[in-house]
Structure 1
């Protein structure tokens, strides 16, 4: 029987989409947080049979025009040529249970230094060949260090910063680089948290814990424009408000001045929350990037992922990390002129109807589209008969898809070799005729947060995920996120926007009138009308209690609405004394 012309066209389209899908992954123009690396399984809680991946405290450095990322307890580290595609290195020599909150520093492209012994008593490791990983150790021992940060200034003087405490300040010692990194006798105490003055340093989810003090940790030093930017994390890694602040000085030893726009790295809303305990590195084209820890904290508090954000220093020397739409697609570091810019692709899958082949207990399929990394679908079985289908309700032009797996009773520990994920994602305009969007049917790599940019965008209404192989005991997915452009209109500008600063000046209640066609809103604030460097993505609601303000700082606020079709104009900026 002869095929109809329309049928032949559909076959050609399917073949073309398969070809482009097979080319995806290594030459994408965009990336999406959390970044997709083969995260190591934690061993902290193996005695309790609690299995989960964790990637946190990333120390990212450039060395000979390439990049290395050292991550807590990962049994090795990652290498990249472009800050986008990472491959794991099994070094010849390394810490038996992985490094802990590691420090790293590139000295004049001659030697790469690392410190991060989990005991806190450590030598400085060094190598000129990190791809081989033939690490050697200096004889000198640095005692009782937690969360170290190594910095060597342009004059060759070395410094070690450290601290992880809800009581003690960050500290620093000079190191004698020419004599085995021998530490100085003098310890300089720098600064500690002041939650009574800086709202974002308060403990708890949404800074709501009034009993416990926040933790100061994760120091990292960046020198820029002759200034020293000492970054630190607060208030706790398991919270949505985990972020990084910065103090600035003319000297590595201080005195340091608190930056008025703190926290500089802050992402409390959206799918992947948290942007703390990170590192800042200069990437391709001189663009800076900040890597931070994003919380999952379902199986255990220490269940985390890694995100990266474009970072800038403004004309007044203020460092700021751009987390605006921070877990949506952004242009990759190697895309000159657009590196780090928001791609403008919106979320087509948010709270859309979902069907699944099977559901285990209460781990429903609609958890995959609720933009909550802590909720997830679990299939009754982990086999190639499991599928999920999303009805986008209206046709949309799909540009990219992110598939986030979850560890539900995975029973894996440490750096497990040979893990891989295989699946197929197809799309349809009518629910009957399907074209391939993403083909991972012959994938041989571990992709727990897989993000795929389609080589050729496709206009579809239905999205279907077909499992082929997941390396875990159970098939569990926390987010099947479809990005693209709807065919309707963006929301109108938000009305009735108000900011009520509380008697406790660290807090403000922000409200606005709900827009009928809005998925969510971005609340933006900063210390000047042209410095709205902070943002909080809110889904559904039309209020936000913001508890991250500094007592003695004036702020400026605005809000915008968004949906699958685009983003509204922002409201007029409101000044709040």
Structure 2
């Protein structure tokens, strides 16, 4: 066993370990042991990743399924997740799985281009699954994989469908009838059909095309960074639609879809709404329903919508990491709900800062925010060693694609932050990066070990969190102290990480400071000649760490948020380009400033009318 350097007697006397305790708070990215994937297309580089999350509440436990995990996770509280390795697992690295519970049994299927199994389990926490059916029937009218290309791009004969079902979604209605939804393409739509789940399972209806993207009218459906319309070099790309998921609320059906592509910060979820599970569906003009283009966690697309055991609504999504290659991702959850007239919404306001876990029904999802801010943002950082240009300052910039790399991946390496003064520290999140890693897919001993130390003077160090005996891999480890501490210095002390190198994308220290919240900033908004765009000009205020630009379809429905830090906005000339609007829809905009001392009151909402 690797050992840590000894601490002083005084430090041991005042140790405050974050011991095994009932979870109180959590932070995105979700803290699970994301599994290493080996992608032949990326020259043999391993990296941890998670994507396309499905969370289902089954027999009062939560189950999380994702892409390429060779298993799944279970939790009793949505915070502490335990990995389950199934005893029978015919899925060779399932992608974008579908799951549904009928209350007694949990059903699971994988994405496929040809008929594949449907599994069932009454108690999936045990890892035991049975065959519901070994081979699902083929999708009526679907061509076989490989045959599709012979017709040219988007040129399938009338009445024929692409291979599938890829990116499936299972839905069991209140009357017990089953529906299957699927599709992942920048050519084809989302499809749906009713199925009879009684073995051998059959399609009750022919597949129906339910919806397509319309990026010419829906700004958020445009591909690329901040919906630029294509790649950074200007190459245009048609946006992708995928991630079908059905939610029923108030007698109406909300068919969720992800767009415009997982590779950039603008990945989001939208919905079409209908009175029938197979439509016709109408586009919701308040889309997207889950959106997070700014901050450390970027992206909210392709996930699921579920209720927790208290009836609170959540939406899951796929944030973008994109260091090793463009499909390197994580998992996020955002709370939300429905307005009295049925508008679906989820909040990403402070969506990558610590949140309280509900212990009962929550009337206002935004009330789950703890009020803890990143005290670590661009503070002075020093390290025991550094490799090349991967300097310590890159571990405090709130950017997931920059990182510090130690010269050696060895116990005792340290990364120390000077918070610039005494601050009240509540929690720390260690976000590792996989830099030039080898292939780890078959290793059984992948684990993450470290300690977090704190000090008032940089001399006498005490323990805030001790994971030196951990057997888990925690690439986005979040630890809350048993009690908050008043500290000026925070130190990461390394124990073990599976990657070839010790690399930390961000050591995020969350807490508060004394003082007064920033003043309310003012803003001006100009709708572009292209109605999908708006320019938001913010008047800077002193002592602001950053701003939340908020907008929505009514003054009391500012459900969309773009978080931007003070210095980043200054580099943009104190203006933010919002390119996620729907043509023909009126909007209201407001802005608030925040700092570790608090959040300002929001500015008075400004109406931005659409041209008629």
What is the TM-score of this pair, normalised by structure 2?
A: 0.89
Q: Could you tell me which residue of structure 2 aligns to residue 515 of structure 1?
A: 541
**Within-5 A mapping of 1:25-424:** 26-45=21-40, 48-107=43-102, 109-130=103-124, 131-138=126-133, 139-143=135-139, 144-184=164-204, 186-209=206-229, 211-334=236-359, 337=362, 341-414=368-441, 416-424=443-451
User: Is 1:553 the counterpart of 2:570 in the alignment?
Assistant: no
State the Cα deviation string for residues 36-84 of structure 1 (Å, max 9, x = none).
1011111233772111111000111111111111111110111111111
Which is further off, 428-437 or 401-410?
428-437
Query: Residue 441 of structure 1: SS of its match in structure 2?
Result: coil
User: Is 1:531 the counterpart of 2:538 in the alignment?
Assistant: no
State the Cα deviation string for residues 100-149 of structure 1 (Å, max 9, x = none).
11110001x22211111444532322222312332314143234211001
Q: Could you tell me which residue of structure 2 aligns to residue 5 of structure 1?
A: none
**Is the contact between residue 29 and residue 335 of structure 1 (CA under 8 Å) also seen in structure 2?**
no
State the Cα deviation string for residues 455-484 of structure 1 (Å, max 9, x = none).
110001111111111121100000100000
Q: Give the superposition deviation at 1:184.
A: 3.6
State the Cα deviation string for residues 277-317 of structure 1 (Å, max 9, x = none).
01011103111111111110110111100011112111110
Q: Could you tell me which residue of structure 1 aligns to residue 462 of structure 2?
A: 435
Q: Could you tell me which residue of structure 1 aligns to residue 606 of structure 2?
A: 574
Query: Residue 21 of structure 1: SS of its match in structure 2?
Result: coil
Which is further off, 371-380 or 430-439?
430-439
**Is the contact between residue 374 and residue 511 of structure 2 (CA under 8 Å) also seen in structure 1?**
yes
Question: How far, CA to CA, are the matches of 1:142 and 1:252 in structure 2?
Answer: 21
Question: How far, CA to CA, are the matches of 1:368 and 1:530 in structure 2?
Answer: 37
Question: How far, CA to CA, are the matches of 1:373 and 1:567 in structure 2?
Answer: 24
Q: Could you tell me which residue of structure 1 aligns to residue 146 of structure 2?
A: none
**Is the contact between residue 30 and residue 330 of structure 1 (CA under 8 Å) also seen in structure 2?**
yes
Question: How far, CA to CA, are the matches of 1:142 and 1:55 in structure 2?
Answer: 28
**Is the contact between residue 11 and residue 460 of structure 2 (CA under 8 Å) also seen in structure 1?**
no
- For structure 2, the 5+ residue unaligned runs are 1-7, 140-163, 231-235
**Is the contact between residue 231 and residue 244 of structure 1 (CA under 8 Å) also seen in structure 2?**
yes
Q: Give the superposition deviation at 1:175.
A: 0.6
Q: Give the superposition deviation at 1:531.
A: 0.4
Q: Give the superposition deviation at 1:336.
A: 5.8
**Is the contact between residue 75 and residue 415 of structure 1 (CA under 8 Å) also seen in structure 2?**
no
CA RMSD of aligned residues (A): 1.8
Query: Residue 562 of structure 1: SS of its match in structure 2?
Result: strand
- Say if 1:178 and 1:336 are closer, same or farther in 2 by CA, change over 3 A: closer
- For structure 1, the 5+ residue unaligned runs are 1-9
Q: Could you tell me which residue of structure 2 aligns to residue 3 of structure 1?
A: none
**Is the contact between residue 28 and residue 351 of structure 2 (CA under 8 Å) also seen in structure 1?**
yes
- Say if 1:553 and 1:351 are closer, same or farther in 2 by CA, change over 3 A: same
**Is the contact between residue 234 and residue 244 of structure 1 (CA under 8 Å) also seen in structure 2?**
yes
User: Is 1:21 the counterpart of 2:18 in the alignment?
Assistant: yes
- Say if 1:282 and 1:361 are closer, same or farther in 2 by CA, change over 3 A: same
Question: How far, CA to CA, are the matches of 1:101 and 1:151 in structure 2?
Answer: 15
Query: Residue 393 of structure 2: SS of its match in structure 1?
Result: helix
- Say if 1:336 and 1:553 are closer, same or farther in 2 by CA, change over 3 A: closer
**Equivalences, count:** 563
Which is further off, 485-494 or 117-126?
117-126
**Is the contact between residue 376 and residue 396 of structure 2 (CA under 8 Å) also seen in structure 1?**
yes
Q: Could you tell me which residue of structure 1 aligns to residue 233 of structure 2?
A: none
Question: How far, CA to CA, are the matches of 1:444 and 1:334 in structure 2?
Answer: 28
- Say if 1:95 and 1:478 are closer, same or farther in 2 by CA, change over 3 A: farther
**Is the contact between residue 241 and residue 274 of structure 1 (CA under 8 Å) also seen in structure 2?**
yes
**Is the contact between residue 11 and residue 461 of structure 2 (CA under 8 Å) also seen in structure 1?**
no
Q: Give the superposition deviation at 1:13.
A: 8.2
**Within-5 A mapping of 1:454-465:** 454-465=481-492
Which is further off, 417-426 or 259-268?
417-426
Question: How far, CA to CA, are the matches of 2:219 and 2:41 in structure 1?
Answer: 36
- Say if 1:493 and 1:14 are closer, same or farther in 2 by CA, change over 3 A: farther
**Is the contact between residue 44 and residue 439 of structure 2 (CA under 8 Å) also seen in structure 1?**
no
Query: Residue 457 of structure 1: SS of its match in structure 2?
Result: strand
Question: How far, CA to CA, are the matches of 1:16 and 1:27 in structure 2?
Answer: 22
Query: Residue 42 of structure 1: SS of its match in structure 2?
Result: strand
Which is further off, 37-46 or 26-35?
37-46
- Say if 1:28 and 1:179 are closer, same or farther in 2 by CA, change over 3 A: closer
